[in-house]
Amino acid sequence: MLPSPNLTSFLFLAAIFAFSAGSGDPSGPSDPAGVGGEVAGSGGGASGLGNDLRGLGDDLKGLGGEVSGSGGDLIQPRAFPCPDKNDISPCTCLGGIEGFFILDLWCSQVPGDEELAAVFQAKFPYKKYRTIRVEESPAITGLPAGIFGNLTFREFNVINEALTYVDAGALSLSHEEAELMYFYYNDITSFPFDDLASFTNLKELRLYGNKISGFPSLSSQSLEVLSLGYNPLGGPLTDTTFINTPALREIHLYGAEITEVMSGTFAGLSKLQLVSLRENHLSALPEASFVMPGLPNTRIYLQNNTITTVAPNAIAGLSGGLVDLQDNLLTSFEELVWRPLLEGGVQLDLRGNPLTCGCDLAWLIRAGSPLLDLLDPESTCADGRLVVDLDPALFQDC
């Protein structure tokens, strides 16, 4: 039986799309989705569409279309794969030829929760989207279960809004697709942390600037970047806090009212390269509180705490990189604490600490270069003298 006219037209257009995606500049001159030339998820790829269209006649499920019987009812190519723009207003579907299957939904100035839910009751020809972005919509107060209908997303962006909660079922349909979750600068107090393990491809979770209290229980084998800064988390970090997130590369917990980092907190995180705990309530760093895996360019940010003491081997396992202790309350510079780091090529920033610059500092001044060169040149004594300018003769009696 010959294909129906609608199906024949669609196959012809699909061939054109495939040819366009496979030739010329791969970045494409007009790619509103921002991802040039990517047609992943098209049910066979560009080469499959260009050279072998036989599968399209039998199985259009991956394309979001349906053929019923011999005649079939096919979504018109002029609207495919975005829905009718009037049905999803005030949201906009973005896509193009090069971005034929890389679709974004941007929702702006949504009047309220019901209006957002109504958008996803529309008929969507294609179910898999790259990004959902909600912006300039302060009337949106939460994301209840099922809010996004039967659509899935790789990236969630709800930023600078007034969200107070995200229900467990709001994101769960995307548990295989979701890679990035950005919900920062909202008013969120409730988030489905218990479901993180089911998001098997989640790479980044950024929830800073919300109102989450108490450190959540975290479990994810894929999560690489965790940002919970500027939430009133409080309490200590312990040797079990990150035990179920072994893939973490970056941990951002600035301004989170953390009171203590206990021994072994970061042990076992073999990919960890950045920890930011600035602007917290830390007063001391015990032994083995920051044991890192030795990766290059590792950075530890501890500015603007009230740290007065650092135990020997509190910070270990660095190969080069930076330890930033600006604006704390350190008064001494013990050799047992700091020589191993400097000899490992670690840069130290001690600006804004009331260092007494007594005999505890003599070993560094006598050592001179290259160890002294690793100290930030603007680090000063409590009386304002630059540490790098101290005369070794001042320490001859030490």
Give the pLDDT score at 101.
Answer: 61
9 part of a folded domain: yes
- Residue 4's Cβ-count burial label (10 Å; 0-12, 13-18, 19+) is middle
Nearest to 329 by CA among 303, 364, 362: 303
pLDDT in tens, 363-383: 999 999 899 999 999 999 999
- Residue 229's Cβ-count burial label (10 Å; 0-12, 13-18, 19+) is buried
Asked if residue 90 has a cis previous peptide bond (ω within 30° of 0), the answer is yes
Give the pLDDT score at 284.
Answer: 98
CA 258 to chain centre: 20
Position 329 pLDDT exceeds 90: yes
302 part of a folded domain: no
Position 231 pLDDT exceeds 90: yes
pLDDT in tens, 50-81: 333 233 233 333 333 332 333 333 333 335 67
Give the pLDDT score at 25.
Answer: 32
Q: How many domains does the chain have?
A: 1
Question: Whole-structure pTM over 0.85, yes or no?
Answer: no
Position 177 pLDDT exceeds 90: yes
Give the pLDDT score at 147.
Answer: 95
24 part of a folded domain: yes
Picking from 56-70, 103-117, 304-318, 365-379, which range would have the lowest pLDDT averaged per residue? Answer: 56-70
Alpha-carbon span 200 to 196, nearest angstrom: 8
Q: Which domain holds residue 44?
A: 5-63
345 part of a folded domain: no
Give the pLDDT score at 203.
Answer: 98
- Mean pLDDT calculated for residue range 306-314: 98
54 part of a folded domain: yes
**Token code pair at residue 342:** 């400097």
Alpha-carbon span 124 to 103, nearest angstrom: 12
Give the pLDDT score at 99.
Answer: 44
The H-assigned helical ranges of 109-223 are 113-119, 168-171
Give the pLDDT score at 81.
Answer: 79
374 part of a folded domain: no
Position 167 pLDDT exceeds 70: yes
Give the pLDDT score at 102.
Answer: 75
Q: What angle do CA 343, 345, 347 make, to 5 degrees?
A: 115
Picking from 32-36, 153-157, 235-239, 380-384, which range would have the lowest pLDDT averaged per residue? Answer: 32-36
352 part of a folded domain: no
130 part of a folded domain: no
